[in-house]
């Protein structure tokens, strides 16, 4: 049986993680290593300035007092190092991780870390709204992983899956949507007259066809294949003028 490492950013006691684990136990041998508390929006951060503790909660379920990326490292490089996982699955996150938001997401960042280690990885997120439930997303995760575990997968397989609230009407392969940047910083003063800030603002999206945002807005499950090569390949041509100005006399002497 294939071995799957399950993690998340909502914490080891979250409902989404419990249902994901249950669904994946049908198709694989599952080990859970997840943060001991919520770590949403922790991005791809790694804890280097303090020791990390791992606790065994039950058979094949562990918590770590760190980020999702810490969990993947402790699991792959220590706990499972003699028999590493075939896949890493993260989620099911409480709330979507669409478009530009994937860079903030601890859920998706755990799969970035998996990919950097050469382990095929999938992230699942569930839209929040009326009639909210993780059940549909958990069933879908079981079906999707049931298919993937039968295949020889590329080491850089990285899928970001978002499930709409309510009954899904289909499945779309979708590109990342773009945020309409409405984030704002609210300035306030505490009782001692000192300034503090809240990062605020409601999410809004460009209504582009073919995006993950559009798929979920239309009640469809979106699957977005991602890769971590952030190179802007167009830039290798379009900044040639800059290189030719600077080359030859690099220090400008």
Q: Write out the residues near Mn ion by the rule CB under 5 A.
A: 9-10, 40, 93
Instruction: For the CB of residue 37, give the shortest distance to Mn ion in the complex, in Å.
Output: 11
- Shortest distance in whole angstroms from residue 155 CB to Mn ion: 26
Rounded to whole angstroms, the Cα distance separating 240 from 237 reads 5
Q: How far is the CB of 105 from Mn ion (least distance, A)?
A: 7
CB-nearer residue toward Mn ion: 31 or 67: 67
Q: State the nearest-atom distance from the C-beta of 107 to Mn ion, in Å.
A: 6
Of 149 and 159, CB closest to Mn ion? 159
For Mn ion, give the closer residue by CB, 149 or 224: 224
Task: Kindly tell me which of 43 and 84 has the beta carbon lying closer to Mn ion.
Answer: 43
When the beta carbons of 12 and 27 are compared against Mn ion, the nearer one is 12
Closest-approach residue to Mn ion (CB): 40
- Minimum CB–partner distance for residue 128 and Mn ion (Å): 11
């Amino acid at each position: 049986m294939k071995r799957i490492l399950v993690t998340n950013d909502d914490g080891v006691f979250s409902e989404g993680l419990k249902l994901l684990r249950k669904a994946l136990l049908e198709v694989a041998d599952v080990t859970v290593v997840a943060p001991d508390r919520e770590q949403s929006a922790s991005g791809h951060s790694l804890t280097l300035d303090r020791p990390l503790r791992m606790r065994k909660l039950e058979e094949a379920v562990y918590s770590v007092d760190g980020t999702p990326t810490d969990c993947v490292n402790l699991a792959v490089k220590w706990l499972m190092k003699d028999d590493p996982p075939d896949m890493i699955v993260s989620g099911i996150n409480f709330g979507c991780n669409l478009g530009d938001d994937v860079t903030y997401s601890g859920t998706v960042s755990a799969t970035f870390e998996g990919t950097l280690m050469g382990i095929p990885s999938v992230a699942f997120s569930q839209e929040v709204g009326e009639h909210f439930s993780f059940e549909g997303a958990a069933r879908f995760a079981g079906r999707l992983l049931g298919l993937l575990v039968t295949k020889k997968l590329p080491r850089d397989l990285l899928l970001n899956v978002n499930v709409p609230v309510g009954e899904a009407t289909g499945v779309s392969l979708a590109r990342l949507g773009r945020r309409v940047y409405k984030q704002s910083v609210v300035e306030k003063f505490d009782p001692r007259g000192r300034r503090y800030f809240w990062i605020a603002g409601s999410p809004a999206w460009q209504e582009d066809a073919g995006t993950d945002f559009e798929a979920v807005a239309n009640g469809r499950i979106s699957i977005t294949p991602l890769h971590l090569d952030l190179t802007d390949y167009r830039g290798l041509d379009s900044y040639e003028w800059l290189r030719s100005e600077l080359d030859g006399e690099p220090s400008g002497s």
